Structure 1
Amino acid sequence: MIVTVTPNPAVDVTYVVPALTSGTSLRVDAPGIRAGGKGVNVARVLRQDGHDALAVVTAGGTAGRDLVADLDASGLPYRAVPVGAETRRSVAIVDRAAGDTTILNEHGTALAPGELAGLHAAVAASLDGATCLVASGSLPPGAPAAFYGDLVRRAHEAGVPALVDAVGEPLLAACAAGADLVKPNRDELAATTGTSDPAVGARALLDAGARHVVVTLGGEGMLAVRAERPDAVVRARLRDGAGPLKGNPTGAGDAAVAAAAVTLSAASGAPGPDDIGDTAGDAALRALLRRAVAWSAAAVLAPLAGELAPGYRELARDVVLDPS
C-alpha cells in the first residue's frame, strides 16, 4: 500500500469555458467539484492503475466536510485529521479556445501545534504494511520547514521509502533527511536552488542528500539523476508529433509522482537502483521516467486532476529517452 500525505489539501473546483476573456461576464456549466491537493491526486491516480493507496489529509470547516464527503463518495481509502482551520479551495478555469488553464490556489490557514502532531500520528499509524510514503504539496502557513524531513525520517524508521514533492526549505529538509526521491518542477527547482539549469539544480539536491531527483519540465518532458551516478542525466519527453498537449495540467505533476511511487513501492524491501549496479540502476531510472512522462501527459488530457485519460499505458510508446 502506498500512503500519501497532504498537509494542506483543497476542495478543487474546475470550470470549463469555451474561451476566457478577462473583464467580461461568462455563463458557465456547473463546475466539477472534488477533494484535491497533491497527495489526494496521487492516490486517485494510483487507485486508477490498480494500486492500493491511502490518503492522509487534514480537514476543517465547511470545505473540510465537503472534502471528506467526496472522499467517501469516491471510495478512496483515507484517514482525515480534524482541524479547526477551514480547508482551502482551489479554482481551475480551463480555456478550451486557448488550450490552457488558469488556477487560483488559496494559501490555506495555519494549523495548531497539536493538529500538526495529530497529522504526524496519523502518518505513523498508516505506515504499518506501507510500501512507500508520498508527502506532497504546500505546507499550511506557519508549519515548520522541517515537517517533510521529519516524515522522511519517520518513514525510514519504519523501513518505508519516502518520496517528497515540495519547494524551498521543506524540500531541502526532505533532502537532508535522505528522501529516496524528490520531484520539483522547473520553477520550484530554480526557486529552491537558485539556478535556472535543471541538471545543475537536480545535482544540487543530490548534494543536499536526496537519493534520486526527477524534475518535470512542462512540455519539454522530464529529467532525472541519481546519487550513484550524478553526472548521468536521463531526459524523457514525448516524441515529436505527440505533443504539445492541450488540456488541464493541474494534476500532471501529481501523476508523475504517482508513477515514481509505483517504482519505489515495487523496490520496497528489495535491492533498489542504487544497489544493483550502474547498468541496472540506469535502466530502472529510464523505466520510471517512461511511465512518469506517459502518466503526466495522460493527466493533462483528463478533465479533472487526479485522473488519467484512457489509453495512458499506450502513451508510454510515445516517450523518447535521451541520456546525456
Structure 2
Amino acid sequence: MILCLCPSPAIDVTYNVAAFAVGETTRVRRVTRRPGGKAVNVARVLTALGDHAVVLAPVGGATGEEFRNGLSAFGLPAETVHSGHSTRHTVTVVDAAAGQASVLTEPATIDCWDAVADRFHALLTAAEAVVISGSLPSGAPDDGLATLTLAARAAELPVVVDTSGAALAGALAGKPTVIKPNAAELAEVSGRSDVLAAARELAGFHGVAVVASLGADGLIAVDAAGSWHARPARRLRGNPTGAGDALVAALARGFARGTALCDLLGDAVALSAAAVVQPYAGEVDVAEFDRQRTGVRIEDLEAAR
C-alpha cells in the first residue's frame, strides 16, 4: 500500500472555457466538482495503474462530506479525520485556446493535526511507501511534516514529499527520500535560480534526491549517484495541473519497488505527459503512458561536466 497524506484537501472545481479573458466576462462551457488536493490526485493515478493507494486527510463541513463521498465514488480507499474547519475549494480555469490552466486556491486550516498524525503512524505498518503532498495548513506545527517524515523513514519506508516554501524547508529536516519541487519552488527554498545547481546543492547538503519538474521541458533529477535531464519526446497541449502529481505517483511506485532514481525517470516523464492530455488533474491515459515511454529522452548530466 502507498499511503498518501493530503494535509490540505479540497473540492476541486474546474471551469472549462474556450478562451479566458482577464477583466472581461467569460462563459463557462463545462463545470466539474470532485475531491482534490495533490495527494488525492497522486492516489488516483496510482489506482489507475493498478497500485493500492490510501488517502489520509482531515475533512470538515458539507464540503468534507462531499470529499468523502467523492473518494468513495472513485473507489479510492480513504482514512478521514474530522476537522472543525470546512474543507476548502480550489478553482481551475482551463483555457482551451491558450492550452493553459489558471488555479485559485482557498487557504487551508486544520484543528486536528495530532489526530491526523496518530492515524498516520498507525497506517505506516501496512505501507510500502509514503507520499506527503500539498500545502501545510495553518494550525499545523511548523515541524509537522518533518516529524511525520522521520517516522516513516524510521519505519524504513521511502518518502516522497511535494510541497513548497517553509513547509518544504521544514520537511527536509525529516530526510525524505526525494522531494519534488517545480523550478520556482526549488529557487525559493534554495535561494538559487539555476535549477541544476540548486538541486545538486540541496541533494548534497540534505542527503535527499531532488526531482525538479520543468513543465514541458521534463525534469531535472539529482541524487548521490548522479544527475539527469529527462524530457518528453514532444510538447503536449492540455491541462498541466495534474502533471506534477502524476510525476509524484511515478516516483512513489518506483521507490516502493526498490527502483533506482535513474531507472524510473522514463516512467516519471511519460506518466506526467499522459496526465497533461487528460482534462482533469488526477486522471491519466494509461495507453498514452505506454506510448510516451518509448520516446522519453534522458541526458546524463554528469557525462556532460
Aligned-residue RMSD, C-alpha: 1.4
User: Does the Cα contact within 8 Å between 1:54 and 1:78 map onto a contact in 2?
Assistant: yes
Q: Displacement, 1:120?
A: 0.3
1:143 corresponds to which of 140, 144, 164: 140
Structure 1 stretch 309-318 or stretch 94-103: which is displaced more? 309-318
| 2:114 maps to 1:117 | yes
Q: Displacement, 1:194?
A: 0.7
Q: Which residue of 1 aligns with 2:178?
A: 181
| 2:194 maps to 1:218 | no
Provide Cα deviations, 1:99-144, integer angstroms capped at 9, x if missing partner.
11111111222x22xx100010111121112100110110112422
Q: Which residue of 1 aligns with 2:96?
A: 96
Task: State the 4+ residue runs in structure 1 displaced beyond 3 angstroms.
Answer: none
User: Does the Cα contact within 8 Å between 2:17 and 2:30 map onto a contact in 1?
Assistant: no
Structure 1 stretch 88-97 or stretch 170-179: which is displaced more? 170-179
Sequence identity (%): 41
| 2:239 maps to 1:248 | yes
Number of residue-to-residue matches in the alignment: 300
Q: Displacement, 1:168?
A: 2.4
Contiguous gaps of at least 5 residues in structure 2: none
User: Does the Cα contact within 8 Å between 2:5 and 2:133 map onto a contact in 1?
Assistant: yes
1:291 aligned counterpart, secondary structure: helix
Provide Cα deviations, 1:207-253, integer angstroms capped at 9, x if missing partner.
342421111011111011113x3xx32110012xx21x211111110
User: Does the Cα contact within 8 Å between 1:41 and 1:307 map onto a contact in 2?
Assistant: yes
CA distance in 2, matches of 1:313, 1:286: 18
Q: Which residue of 1 aligns with 2:274?
A: 298
- TM-score (norm: length of structure 1): 0.89
| 2:109 maps to 1:132 | no
Within 5 A, what are the aligned runs for 1:18-57? 18-57=18-57
Structure 1 stretch 187-196 or stretch 29-38: which is displaced more? 29-38
1:257 corresponds to which of 234, 245, 248: 248
1:312 aligned counterpart, secondary structure: helix
Provide Cα deviations, 1:170-205, integer angstroms capped at 9, x if missing partner.
222322222111111101000111101111111222
CA distance in 1, matches of 2:30, 2:79: 29
User: Does the Cα contact within 8 Å between 1:4 and 1:133 map onto a contact in 2?
Assistant: yes
Q: Displacement, 1:30?
A: 4.1
CA distance in 2, matches of 1:313, 1:154: 35
Aligned amino acid, residue 258 of structure 1: A
Q: Which residue of 2 aligns with 1:233?
A: 227
CA distance in 1, matches of 2:23, 2:292: 38
CA distance in 2, matches of 1:97, 1:21: 11
| 2:295 maps to 1:318 | yes
Aligned amino acid, residue 256 of structure 1: L
Q: Displacement, 1:147?
A: 1.3
Contiguous gaps of at least 5 residues in structure 1: 273-283
CA distance in 1, matches of 2:143, 2:250: 25
2:282 aligned counterpart, secondary structure: coil
Structure 1 stretch 200-209 or stretch 129-138: which is displaced more? 200-209
CA distance in 2, matches of 1:210, 1:254: 23
Q: Displacement, 1:153?
A: 1.0
Aligned amino acid, residue 61 of structure 1: G
Q: Which residue of 2 aligns with 1:278?
A: none
- TM-score (norm: length of structure 2): 0.94
Q: Which residue of 2 aligns with 1:285?
A: 261
User: Does the Cα contact within 8 Å between 2:149 and 2:176 map onto a contact in 1?
Assistant: yes
